[in-house]
């Protein structure tokens, strides 16, 4: 998450999705900041989303990622806000800070079996977003993590290891939001 974009239309979608999923229980956010933020800036983002932040640590290419994500392990529903989104294959270059990697998302989901994880994910190439989402969801499902995606200019994945919990969240989201069914994608 980069503060220069705070309050943009993506943030409005983030807030709406978290709000519509509120019936699934309390939510917290790990903003995955990639630049230093002041206490006031972190509070502003927390207030905007309507949920507490569990970390304001900065993710750098040198960060030990397991330690960086460790605050996420003992909590219930989690919103992750990487700059770009979910990348199935890990990388270790300067662009690594833009992603939550597939194995990290799987590990966080498995560590919290009665919880959901919502992830901002605009990591798709233009033109074939639906098939790329299905491929990503199929890969996660092969590791015991179920989910679906909301497709728009601000795409998101919602995942969890409890298929019934994910299904209930999907139904609640459809009911609460009124969004058209064609905006959602599940694994094939």
Domain boundaries, the chain: 3-186
According to the model, what pLDDT value does residue 8 have? Answer: 62
Query: Residue 184 in 3-state DSSP?
Result: strand
Model confidence pLDDT, tens digit, residues 2-31:
555 555 678 899 999 999 999 888 999 999
Helix (H, G, I), strand (E, B) or coil at 21: coil
Whether 72 and 52 have beta carbons less than 8 Å apart is answered as no
Q: Is 169 helix (H, G, I), strand (E, B) or coil?
A: helix
Identify whether the C-beta of residue 173 lies closer than 8 Å to the C-beta of residue 21.
yes
pLDDT over 90, % of the chain: 78
- Cβ contact 132:125 at 8 Å: yes
Q: Which CATH architecture has domain 3-186?
A: 3-Layer(aba) Sandwich (3.40)
Closest among 45, 50, 58, 7 to 27, alpha carbons compared: 50
């Amino acid at each position: 998450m980069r503060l220069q974009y705070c309050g943009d239309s993506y943030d409005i979608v983030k807030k709406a999705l978290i709000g519509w999923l509120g019936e699934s229980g309390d939510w917290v956010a790990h903003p995955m900041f990639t630049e230093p933020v002041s206490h006031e800036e972190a509070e502003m983002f927390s207030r905007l989303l309507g949920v507490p932040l569990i970390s304001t640590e900065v993710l750098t290419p040198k960060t030990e990622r397991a330690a960086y994500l460790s605050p996420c392990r003992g909590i219930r529903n989690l919103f992750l806000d990487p700059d770009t989104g979910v990348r199935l294959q890990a990388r270790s270059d300067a662009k690594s800070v833009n992603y939550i990697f597939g194995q990290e998302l799987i590990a966080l989901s498995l560590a919290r079996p009665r919880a959901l994880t919502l992830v901002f994910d605009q990591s798709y190439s233009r033109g074939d977003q639906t098939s790329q989402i299905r491929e990503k969801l199929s890969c996660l499902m092969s590791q015991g993590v179920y989910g679906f995606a909301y497709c728009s200019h601000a795409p998101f994945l919602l995942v969890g290891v409890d298929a019934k919990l994910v299904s209930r969240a999907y139904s609640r989201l459809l009911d609460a939001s009124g969004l058209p069914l064609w905006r959602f994608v599940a694994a094939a």
